[in-house]
Structures are given as structure tokens and as C-alpha cells.
Structure 1
Amino acid sequence: MYQERTITYGRTYQTEPRVVYHGPDFSGIHLDLDYLKTLSGMLKCIQIALCFLTFITVIGGGPYYYNGATWASFVSSVGLMITTILLVFYLFHVVDKFTNIPWIVCEMIYCFMFTMFFFLAGSALALASMQYKLSAGWAIASFFAFCAMVAYGFDCYLKFLSWKKGEKAVGGNTNVQNV
């Protein structure tokens, strides 16, 4: 009548290769304020302050319809944004993670370009402050633009020396020799 049966179930497993994303390792990203104590960190802070002061004095310095004023505000605002982004990259050691990017060369080119841009902006503001009435603020903006030009030029010179020595950009510490 009743017969007991045992049924055996078998499981088969098939292993397939998994696709694993091997992107950059973000485990070492942390805030390190020691970079602000280095010469490059101080220069970046000075450049940010001078870009901000140039932008504010251009905006409040005179009538805004002059093309030199729009150029100076564009240069100072873009310089403010890029320099702030670079400062954040160095503070959080992002430059240490992306070693395949030549940071020193990129920054040297960037600093050289903005040295020229601030020279043109400062010259245009100096001429405009002499030409137009009620534009004495542009003379102050011209002074800040020339100070920013000197800061970017000095930073470009330091980056050139670092590039010639073969140094590698690191956040928080001084530049280390490329081994």
C-alpha cells in the first residue's frame, strides 16, 4: 500500500567570471590642512583672495558696459573657480590618487595663461579708469589684477623649477622626488 520513497535533489552551480570595476582608489582621500602651510598652498590662498578682490572691485568700480571690465570679471571669476578647485584637490589628496596626470605641468601652463590674462585685464582696467568718469574703482581693481598677475607668475616660476627637478605634486607635504 504505502511505500516510502526518497527523492534526491541535486544542485548544479555554474560559475561565471564577474565584471569588477577597477577604478581609482578613493580610500586615501581625507582633509589635510598641512598643504596650507606650504608655499604652494599659501600662494593658492593669495591667488584666491586676489581673484575675489579683483572681481568685487570690478563689479563695484564703474559702469559695466566697458568690454575691459567684462573681461576682467571673467578672468577673475574663472581664476577664482579653477584655483579653488585645485586647492581642494590638494587639500583632499586627490592629486595623490591620480598620478597619471602631470599636475605640475598642467598647473604651470594654467599659471602662465592666467599671468597673461591678468596682465591684459589689469592693463584694460588701468586704461578704462583713466578714460571714464566715476570709474576710480577700476584703478583699484587694476592694482589687484596686477598683484594677481605677480602671484600667478611666481607660482608659474615655482612650478617650472619643480618640473625641471622632476618633482611630483603631492597634497599636504612638500613635493617629493620622482623615483
Structure 2
Amino acid sequence: MSTTQQATVTTTTTTTTKPYFDPSYLRTVPGILKCLQLVLNAICFICCVARWSGIGGGRIDFYFFCCIVGFIVTLILLILYLFHVVGYFYKLPWYLIEFIYCAVWTLFYLSASIAMADLAGKFSNTFRRYYSALAAAAFFGFLAMIAYGVDAFFKFRAWRNGEKPQIIAQQTSTRTTATVESPH
């Protein structure tokens, strides 16, 4: 009496078809930069409260615009990456789009921070209560400019190398089936 054993290994690959939350993105360099940009935009906005005092006019309005729009767009991008939505629109040149956004915001923060530093210099002797807020706005604006500039550099390099920002996750499952046949 002999028995024959046969083992079958089946590998199934399925593609996830809906967005999923992936907090590991926050530990990557792009994720850390986006979080840093959000924090700096929020701090810049807080420093911009001096806007309501009626000083500075358009310069403070432009700085305020940089803070608010930068915060909103960066938050949207962070959410898109956290939920792997970017992978579903793989035909869009994400790195080129983000490079342009980060480069423009680098220039915006450069000019807005220079304007805040100039205003701080004008109010340094006459209105000390404005000086601190304007100097802090200039300082944190320059930090935001650096954060967006570093991000623009990484996005440009990734775009030139032809990298894809995210790939839709694939789940691989392995199923082993053992079949035992015995002749009669």
C-alpha cells in the first residue's frame, strides 16, 4: 500500500482598491517636511495677528495669504499622501506639480519675510509692541522658506529621476494546500 503526497502552493496578489491610512508616511523625509511646513505656517499665522492693528497694509496681507494658503495646500497634500490617494492618480506628474508649488512658496515666503523684517525695522524704535510680532514673523517666515526650498529640491530631484510618488499597495497572500492520494 503506497500513498502519494502532493503539495500545491498558490500565491494570490490582490491590489487594494480603496484608500487606506498609512501613518508610516509621517516618518519619511517628505512627510516630516510637510509636518514642519504645517507647523511653520501655523506659527507664521499666529505672528500675523498684528495685521488687525492696521499697520503694514498690503505687506502683512501678503504674508497672511502665504500662511493661510500654504497651510491649506500643504494639509491637503499631506492627507492625500497619508491615505495613498496620490497613487490612484499616477498619470499626473505629482513631483513636478509639488516642485512648482514648493518653489513658488519658497519665493513667496522670501519676499513676505523680507517685508516683515523691513516693517520690524521701521517699528523697532517707535512702536515696540509691533516689533516683536513682526520680527518673529520674519524669522519664522524665513524658516518656512527654507522648509519649502528643501522640499522643492527633493521634489525636483525625484521628478528628474522619473520616480513615482506612491504606488498602490499590493497585498500578497500565500495559501498552501496539501493533497494526499492513496491508491486502492
| 9, 12, 29: which one aligns with 2:19 | 29
Q: Which residue of structure 2 aligns with residue 102 of structure 1?
A: 93
Matched residues in 2 for 1:105 and 1:26: separation?
26
| 110, 130, 136: which one aligns with 1:135 | 130
| 166, 170, 174: which one aligns with 1:170 | 166
Instruction: Tell me how far 1:121 sits from its aligned partner.
Output: 0.6
Q: Which residue of structure 1 aligns with residue 3 of structure 2?
A: none
Question: Using a 3 Å threshold, how does the CA distance of structure 1 residues 158 and 172 change in structure 2: closer, same or farther?
Answer: farther
Give the residue type in structure 2 aligned to 1:154.
V
Q: Which residue of structure 1 aligns with residue 82 of structure 2?
A: 91
CA contact (8 A) 2:50 2:130 kept: no
Instruction: Tell me how far 1:96 sits from its aligned partner.
Output: 0.5
Give the residue type in structure 1 aligned to 2:157.
L
Instruction: Tell me how far 1:28 sits from its aligned partner.
Output: 2.5
Matched residues in 2 for 1:80 and 1:37: separation?
20
- Larger RCO, structure (CA 8 Å, separation 6 or more): 2
Q: Percent identity?
A: 36
Q: Which residue of structure 1 aligns with residue 181 of structure 2?
A: none
Matched residues in 2 for 1:121 and 1:171: separation?
36
Matched, 1:77 2:68: yes
Matched residues in 2 for 1:129 and 1:172: separation?
48
Question: Using a 3 Å threshold, how does the CA distance of structure 1 residues 49 and 118 change in structure 2: closer, same or farther?
Answer: same
Instruction: Tell me how far 1:68 sits from its aligned partner.
Output: 1.1
Instruction: Tell me how far 1:59 sits from its aligned partner.
Output: 1.1
CA contact (8 A) 1:32 1:172 kept: no
Q: Alignment partner of 1:168: what SS?
A: coil
Q: Over aligned residues, Cα RMSD in angstroms?
A: 2.1
Structure 1 segments unaligned to the other structure (5+ residues): 1-24, 174-179
Q: Alignment partner of 1:167: what SS?
A: coil
Number of aligned residues: 149
Instruction: Tell me how far 1:65 sits from its aligned partner.
Output: 3.6
Q: CA offsets, 1:94-120, max 9 Å, x none?
A: 100111111000000000000000001
Give the residue type in structure 1 aligned to 2:146.
V
Give the residue type in structure 1 aligned to 2:59.
G
| 50, 53, 61: which one aligns with 2:40 | 50
Question: Using a 3 Å threshold, how does the CA distance of structure 1 residues 103 and 163 change in structure 2: closer, same or farther?
Answer: same
**Shift >6 Å, 4+ stretches:** none
Instruction: Tell me how far 1:70 sits from its aligned partner.
Output: 1.0
Return the structure number with greater strand share: 2
Q: Alignment partner of 1:42: what SS?
A: helix
Structure 2 segments unaligned to the other structure (5+ residues): 1-14, 170-184
Give the residue type in structure 2 aligned to 1:68.
R
Matched residues in 2 for 1:142 and 1:62: separation?
17
Give the residue type in structure 2 aligned to 1:49.
V
Q: Which residue of structure 1 aligns with residue 146 of structure 2?
A: 150
Matched residues in 1 for 2:19 and 2:45: separation?
32
